[in-house]
Amino acid sequence: MSEEYTEKIHAERLIKTLERKPHNYGGCPAAHECDGTYKVSRRWLKKPAPCKICMGFIGLDINKAESECPCSELGDVEAFKRSWITLEEKGYV
């Protein structure tokens, strides 16, 4: 079951991840059920990679980053804070 991970899919899954109670910053929007317990690469086509979509969504350049994951690059709290701001700016919420 592979499909292309798009910005729209990322935004929908990001909202689901951020609204989950109790809140868990460790969850990954691209993971199975957005919970971080399933390998991201098993679900999505590799190009564009989900991590690249996520990095670009909050304005990070994957080519200049030390990590391919915004949560590793910025820390979970900062990555999710920037993600929520971007969701608002782009009209997803």
* pLDDT tens-digit map of 30-84: 887 776 655 565 678 777 788 889 999 999 988 888 888 888 889 888 988 999 9
Helices (H) and strands (E) in the chain, counts: 5, 0
Contact between 40 and 17 under an 8 Å Cβ cutoff? The reply is no
* Full-model pTM: 0.83
> What is the DSSP secondary structure assignment for residue 44, as one 8-state letter?
B
Q: Give SS3 for 10.
A: helix
- Pair of tokens at residue 91: 């009209």
What's the farthest any 2 CA atoms get from each other in the chain? 34
Task: Give the whole-angstrom CA distance, residue 38 versus residue 92.
Answer: 25
